[in-house]
Structure 1
């Protein structure tokens, strides 16, 4: 079968509107001639995540010269049926804690595997073969589908299944959260750091009523704790 890739310098970013995916979007805009984004409505209990992603996208265009022209279409895929099957504290009214399996109840079984498969199908149709995701195993949250070993296996499976070479880029894979803040600063300076602080959403509880030095969130869930610690470590390192 003829290889459908028509844009060798194009990438599709898995974009949730959080700190990590916003940094990955900037990373992609810095490297590829055309960048598109895809978001997933997987039945998450807080619509604030989907609202944040569009604000971040719209503001991102003006941060660096050329980014406006490189940032292409956004796509949203309805995976609410999957979210109902893969019930977790992110898709149902459950406590955020370590479950009987030893994994946190915020773990959505197979989420990254599903997202990458659907994103790859979309990329195939759009003539792209590079996917960019914010998975990270350095600040490991207990999610087995965030490990590079998992991503490598998925990359091979998608390559075989689509009969085209697919590359899954994970620029944050080996970075701490402090290093992720640093990367954002390198890519877009104070403007990008400010955008991440004000508009991205990470909090598992969907709380945007409290503004901390590291951004909005409840300040108590694991996602807020990780983001806050990374911010303070980065601030301390930069003086």
Structure 2
């Protein structure tokens, strides 16, 4: 059976990615990160999703990106600002080079378990403007991974980085997730954490708009 490493944050994008990859017959190895983020709700969601999906393994890697901060998600002195779905600037929730770090770790894990495929649920259509969610970045990372691994550089077994939603909106993801039976009620998107989503941060606003556009009820709010 072919193997895949899936980056699983516990949010919408990664949940749909997980279920899509599983539906394609992969042996799924989920990879989550405790990177010093503001709250642990997404990690709890990731664990629930991994268990519900029945993955072969779920690794939670500790990376203390909060040691230097630079983002309202990793620096307690910064506030998570209210969202603006029409913003054109990069919000303070951008974590410096986060996906670069995550994909580097994913490449190491993939090579260790002999997986040729890495999946990440980023999109450059319906997102917060993060530079590490763009197609040119994904392509550059794949090239770097295959220059820096024995599989890619010496054994001619390329490791592919898939971003299946790079040109899709969140509403399109939700429609796909509904068909795949994704338990959206287990996912978490809010940047602020807490017992209930705040409803006003960028991530909450993007999620609400996506479910509305998809014509699907967000069971996490029911």
Give your verdict on TM over 0.5: yes
- Structure 1 residues 1-239: aligned runs within 5 Å: 9-61=2-54, 71-80=55-64, 82-93=65-76, 94-97=78-81, 102-163=89-150, 164=152, 165-188=158-181, 192=182, 195-196=183-184, 198-209=185-196, 217-235=197-215
Equivalent pair of 1:120/1:129 in contact (CA under 8 Å): no
Q: Per the alignment, in what secondary structure is the counterpart of residue 114 of structure 1?
A: helix
Deviations for 1:114-157, whole angstroms, at most 9, x for unmatched residues? 00001100111111121000111011311001001100000000
What RMSD in Å do the two structures reach over aligned CA positions? 1.6
- Number of residue-to-residue matches in the alignment: 203
Distance 1:33 1:234 in 2: 27
How far did 1:36 drift? 0.6
**Which ranges of structure 2 fall in alignment gaps of 5 or more residues?**
84-88, 153-157, 217-222
Secondary structure (helix, strand or coil) at the match of 2:61 reads: strand
TM-score w.r.t. structure 1 length? Answer: 0.81
Q: 1:11·1:32 contact (CA, 8 Å) conserved in 2?
A: no
Q: What is the CA-CA distance between 1:86 and the residue it aligns to?
A: 4.2
CA distance in 2, matches of 1:171, 1:13: 12
